[in-house]
Structure 1
Amino acid sequence: MSVMLSRDTGTEKPLRREVHKRGMRYRTHLKTVLGKPDRAIIRARIAVFVDGCFWHRCPLS
C-alpha cells in the first residue's frame, strides 16, 4: 500500500487539465475539508474525490 500514489495519479492528471482548461480554479488535497478531497473548487463549494481502478477492482487494471 505504501507504493500507491496519493497525488498526481494517471487518473487525476487529465481531470486537472480539463478543469483548468475550462477556467475553474481549484485547490488540491485540502486538509481543512472533511475527507481531504483530491480537488476542491472553493467558490462553487464542490469537492471531487478521484478513486482509481485499484480501489474498485476495475476490469481494466
Structure 2
Amino acid sequence: MDQETRSRIMRAVRKKDTKPELIVRRLLHAMGYRFRLHRRDLPGTPDIVLPRHKVAIQVHGCFWHQHPGCRHANLPRSRTAYWLPKLARNVERDAQSEEALLALGWRVLVLWECELRDVDALRERLTAFLLGRQEIA
C-alpha cells in the first residue's frame, strides 16, 4: 500500500462513534437499556456507560488496543520504532483506566471488535454481564 493511501485510511480512524461502538449501542438500545456516551468524568472516558447498573463498556478495536491472540492485532512491519511504543501505551492506558474504574466501584466490560460479528452471542454476553451472571471480562 502506498503512503498516500495509508495516510488516507489512518485519517479516517475516529475516536468515537465507530462502527463497532454503534453495533453495541444499537443492540443495547433494542434490548431496552438506556445509557450515556463517553463520560469524561470517568477514568478512560468509557464508550458506553449504564449509570443505573454502574457498568462501563469499552469497545476496543483489535489493532489499536492489541487484542491478545487476535489475527487483527498484528504489528506493522514498517516504522516499528513509532508503532510499538504507541500501541504499548494504548494497552497500558487501557489497563490503568480499567483499574481506576474498578476502584470506583464500576463493573467494566471490554468488547473487542472481532467479537461483534455474532450478534446473538453478543446479546447473550451483554445480558449475562448486565444481570450480574458474568464476572468482569
Alignment TM class, shorter chain as reference: 0.7 to 0.9
Q: Which residue pairs with 1:11 in the alignment? A: 20
Q: Kindly tell me: are residues 10 and 45 of structure 1, through their superposed partners in 2, closer, same or farther at Cα, counting changes over 3 Å?
A: same
| Equivalent of residue 40 in structure 1, options 46, 49, 55 | 49
Partner of 1:59: 71
User: Identical aligned pairs, as a percentage?
Assistant: 35
3-state DSSP of counterpart to 1:47: strand
* CA radius of gyration, larger in: 2
**SS of 2:14 mapped into structure 1:** coil
Which residue identity is paired with 1:24?
Y
Corresponding residue pairs, total? 60
In structure 2, distance between residues paired with 1:51 and 1:60? 12
Kindly state the Cα deviation for residue 16 of structure 1 after the two structures are TM-superposed: 0.6
CA–CA separation in structure 1 for the residues paired with 2:22 and 2:38: 14
Contact 2:47 2:59 in 1 (8 A): yes
Show structure 1 runs of 5+ residues with no match: none
Give the aligned CA root-mean-square deviation in angstroms: 1.8
Q: Quote how far apart the aligned CAs of 1:35 are.
A: 1.4
**TM-score for both structures, normalised by structure 1:** 0.83
More helix, by proportion? 2
Question: Does the 8 A contact of 2:50 with 2:56 survive in 1?
Answer: yes
Q: Which runs of 4+ in 1 moved over 6 A?
A: none
